[in-house]
Amino acid sequence: MISSINEKINNWLINTWAPNFFQLGLSRILFCLGYLVYGLPEFKEIANIPLVFFDPPLGLSLFLGLITSYDFWWAFDLLVRIFFVCLLVGFRTKLASIMFSLLLLFGYSYLYSYGKIDHNIFAVIFPLFMAFTNWGGALSIDSLSFNTTELKPKGWPLSFFSFLLGWGYFTAGWPKLMGDWLDPSYSITAGYILRKFHSGQELLYLNELFVQINNLFIYKVLDYSTLIFELGFILTIFWSALFLRSIGIAAMFHLGVLLTLNIAFTTHVLVFLPYIMYFYFSNSSEVSEKYQQIFSKNKNVFITVFLIFSGFILIDYYPLPFQIHSHIVLFIICTLSMLMLLPKPIHLYFIKTKIKSSE
């Protein structure tokens, strides 16, 4: 019995996802570019926060104590940028991925000790898991400079990360289920929308429009839909096709949260990228090879662009064309995710059209 369960778990971990290097490399670059548009985290502000707010939970900041040196946090931010640049260009990608995640975990453990909390844990640990997919095997300096023939793209980190995503949504939905979200006499979603409207903050997108909707039925549909999505997401992780549709639903869910509540989970949707790239390129190995060949033939151009771009990042200089509103990242990812919700025949038609265009 136990051996049978172990066999099924191992089969799920190893065989659910079979990415190629191009999908992983493209996911790495897009993840970094999205993070860059959103804004790389800076921790030197910690040196200016009044010490009276320091109340660390169980973690590194509790055991190590206060670190208030501005020079320390300035050097720390520089180190974060260095490993981020290495991750973007794919130089010593595995090490850069692990170090970038660990540095963010360390920095946020201190920042959160002062009471500031963001819902960005998945984006923080994402590179740590992706390091073991060997996502530096394509579209990277590593793939041009080092012998990567012995490396193979790994899918098990995507399986494990899909479980973490499912568990995260489940733990978000369970308190709602135990709370008042099922009560048919009023809507929690309507309460959040009204609270945002009267918060005094700038209103964006559709928040004001939804305030004018005085229909309990519509709002209860939103309440129940949220519960079904968050509690049911974890059940889809065992079937890649079903999980890809769930990723599309998740992206649209977060777009809805942005449009109605003006709350942007921008860094969170970045972790959907390897699954989105898997959807678009899973049946097009020749397309992957084609673009990798273009990258290899023009490696001097790409390396030069990488170095110039890396220099801008390291000195924290953003030319005007790169000063893009962070919400654009969420809109782009959600637009890409829409196709994942279409029926299978349309999906197959898209694949055939894509293959023909690459011939």
Q: What total of structural domains would you count in the chain?
A: 2
pLDDT at residue number 13: 85
**Reported confidence tier of residue 347, pLDDT bands at 50, 70, 90:** low
Please state, for a pLDDT cut of 90, what percent of the chain lies above it.
31
Give the least confident one: 4-13, 115-124, 288-297. 288-297
**One domain, residues 147 and 174:** no
**One domain, residues 53 and 114:** yes
Whether the CB-CB separation of 337 and 251 falls below 8 Å is answered with yes
Chain segment 22-58, per-residue pLDDT in tens: 899 999 999 998 888 888 888 888 888 888 788 777 7
255 falls within a domain = yes
Q: Determine the structural domain holding residue 150 and report its residue range.
A: 17-154+308-321
**One domain, residues 113 and 246:** no
334-341 mean pLDDT: 84
Could you give the CA distance from residue 262 to residue 197 in angstroms, rounded to a whole number? 10
121 falls within a domain = yes
Q: How does DSSP classify residue 149? A: T
- What is each CA distance from 156 to 129, 136, 168, 241, 279, in whole angstroms? 9, 16, 18, 16, 17
**One domain, residues 113 and 240:** no
Whether the CB-CB separation of 162 and 272 falls below 8 Å is answered with no
296 falls within a domain = no
* CA geometry: angle 112, 317, 122, nearest 5 deg: 35
**One domain, residues 37 and 98:** yes
pLDDT at residue number 325: 78
Chain segment 226-281, per-residue pLDDT in tens: 999 999 999 999 988 889 999 999 999 999 888 888 888 888 999 999 999 998 88
299 falls within a domain = no
**Reported confidence tier of residue 358, pLDDT bands at 50, 70, 90:** very low
Is residue 126 scored above 80 in pLDDT?
Answer: yes
**One domain, residues 63 and 197:** no
**One domain, residues 99 and 42:** yes
pLDDT at residue number 182: 87
Could you give the CA distance from residue 271 to residue 165 in angstroms, rounded to a whole number? 9
294 falls within a domain = no
Measured between its terminal Cα atoms, the distance across the chain in Å is 49
**One domain, residues 126 and 197:** no
329 falls within a domain = yes
59-88 mean pLDDT: 87
**One domain, residues 129 and 192:** no
Give the least confident one: 109-123, 159-173, 217-231, 291-305. 291-305
290 falls within a domain = no
**One domain, residues 132 and 105:** yes
**One domain, residues 163 and 150:** no
Could you give the CA distance from residue 227 to residue 49 in angstroms, rounded to a whole number? 38
**One domain, residues 61 and 43:** yes
300 falls within a domain = no
Could you give the CA distance from residue 245 to residue 258 in angstroms, rounded to a whole number? 20
Could you give the CA distance from residue 226 to residue 173 in angstroms, rounded to a whole number? 8
pLDDT at residue number 342: 74
- Between 174 and 10, the more confident residue is 174
